[in-house]
């Protein structure tokens, strides 16, 4: 394989991406991250996916963002059920965003 056609990356990828790359005749060079670096790259990926969602606004990009959130939860040992309990408790205490409220000012002390 000719290395002059090599493209360097430093990004977290989905599990099946190496297979997709190799199906095109290219070779994917990957590294398995330790837990600490995995967490760091997940957080970086969260920012990337948020940026992509904000630029495109597509449901597919939102799904990518949520997939990273799920991976972050799993990496921290938090189940979806536990996360949902935390989310619901926060909604009960502080509310959700259903009323579409925009805070403009707080008067008085």
Q: 27-36 pLDDT, tens per residue?
A: 999 999 999 9
- Mapping DSSP to helix (H, G, I), strand (E, B) and coil, where does residue 33 land? coil
Which pTM does this prediction carry?
0.85
The confidence score (pLDDT) of residue 109 equals 80
Domain boundaries, the chain: 3-94
Residues 75 and 91: their CA atoms lie apart, in Å, by 24
Q: 34-89 pLDDT, tens per residue?
A: 999 999 999 999 999 999 999 999 999 999 999 999 999 999 999 999 999 999 99
Residues 43 and 19: their CA atoms lie apart, in Å, by 24
Radius of gyration of the chain (CA): 20
The confidence score (pLDDT) of residue 2 equals 56
């Amino acid at each position: 394989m000719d290395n002059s056609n090599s493209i360097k990356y430093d990004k977290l990828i989905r599990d099946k991406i190496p297979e997709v790359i190799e199906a095109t005749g290219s070779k994917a060079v990957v590294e398995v991250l330790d837990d600490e670096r995995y967490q760091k790259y997940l957080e970086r990926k969260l920012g990337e996916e948020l940026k992509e969602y904000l630029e495109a606004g597509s449901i597919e990009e939102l799904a990518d963002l949520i997939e990273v959130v799920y991976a972050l939860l799993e990496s921290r040992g938090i189940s979806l059920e536990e996360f949902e309990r935390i989310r619901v408790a926060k909604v009960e205490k502080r509310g959700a965003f259903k009323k579409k409220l925009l805070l403009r000012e707080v008067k008085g002390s």
